[in-house]
Amino acid sequence: MKPIIITISILLAGLTIATLNLRTTNAELKEQLQTALGYREQLNKQAEEYTRQRMEWNARLAELETQLLSTATQLNNLSEALQEAREQVNPDYELLLERARREVALNNPPRQRREGGMNVLSDPDAAFTIAEASVDSNYSDFFDVARLSPTARETVGAAIVDFTANRLQLLRDMISGDLSPEIAAAYFGPNALLNNLSQILSQEQLEQLQDYELAANQQSTRNTYAGMFAGNNSTISGLTQELVLDVLMEELYSASNSFGAIVSTNGSLTEAMGDRELAFERARSRLGNDLNQEQLAQYDRFAQEQSNAINFTLTASSTDGEQQQVQIMRVISDNLPN
């Protein structure tokens, strides 16, 4: 009997151990199952996120393609508009230039010219070369201020080169009185360049160009006059010279003096020179209490010298990048041409 009891006990003990092992294994399997389920849930979430992102990317890609197509259309329209503007630039000015050349040829027989430099500028190729070299140095800052695109910069730059070259060719004839008032005003009057570019620049850009031109012309004249005042015998120097130049620039480039234009609105050089003389007189009146007798005497001599002279300054960049100035000064006789 005892052997049977022992055998049963051993079997029960084995069953107990087997049950414990099964429970342990079952618990481990449940834990592994939970882990696997957790991984699957994470994968599902990631798959959903990737699907959402892919949909967003596809939508964004479609939007970018639409924008690209719109931009391409706009660029094409802009190119067509610029081409049209290029074709329309200054038809009146070309006609005026041709008319001016005919008038000069008709009214003036060939004669000996004494102004060597002026003759050079009357040559179309030489005038164009000088004008082309001057555009980048004179107007690159304006192109930046106006935020012109590369294509617009090229179009506007070409128009300025053409205008400047024509102006240089007509300079001698204007001073000699061989131009009609209409043509003189078109090339040398107030806002001549602005009128020339009115078809290719917006109103805002024209106003920016007007301010830029005024500041540039003032600075050019200021530098020229400062050089004239320099010297060991000059009584106008230092802070006094700065004051004189400040007042002169304000008066010479005021509305009363047609903002420094070579000829008046009606194309008259005589009227413009008269307005210029009045500008010097206004400046002297303002400076009367700030200058001593010697300084006033020097100012009067300077004003007299400038009253019958035209200063035409063109700044160009040389091949090595240095700045060079081409200055033409022509003394006008007491009998002005027009």
pLDDT value at position 199?
A: 92
Domain shared by 43 and 172, yes or no = no
pLDDT value at position 127?
A: 84
Residue at 336 is within a domain: no
Domain shared by 71 and 137, yes or no = no
Q: Which domain holds residue 29?
A: 1-88
Query: Which amino acid appears at position 338 of this protein?
Result: N
Domain shared by 264 and 305, yes or no = yes
Which residues of the chain have a pLDDT value below 70?
1-27, 29, 36, 43-44, 47-48, 50-122, 232, 313-338
Domain shared by 61 and 140, yes or no = no
Calpha distance 30→35 (Å, rounded): 9
pLDDT value at position 210?
A: 94
- Asked which of 40, 68, 88 is the last residue of a domain, the reply is 88
Q: What is the pLDDT of residues 214-223, one digit of tens each?
A: 998 999 899 9
Q: What is the pLDDT of residues 70-125, one digit of tens each?
A: 555 555 554 555 455 445 555 555 565 566 555 555 554 444 334 445 555 667 88
Look up tokens 């002169």; give the residue.
Answer: 248
Strands 309-317 and 323-331: antiparallel
pLDDT value at position 40?
A: 72
**What is the pTM for the complete model shown?**
0.63
pLDDT value at position 12?
A: 59
pLDDT value at position 137?
A: 77
Which residues are within 8 A (CB) of 149 and not within 5 positions of it... i.e. 6 or more apart?
78
Residue at 191 is within a domain: yes
Which residues are within 8 A (CB) of 120 and not within 5 positions of it... i.e. 6 or more apart?
126
Q: H or E segment at 296?
A: helix 293-307
Domain shared by 117 and 29, yes or no = no
pLDDT value at position 177?
A: 83
Q: Give the count of domains, the chain.
A: 2
Residue at 110 is within a domain: yes
Domain shared by 199 and 213, yes or no = yes
Structure tokens of 205?
Answer: 């850009």
Domain shared by 106 and 46, yes or no = no
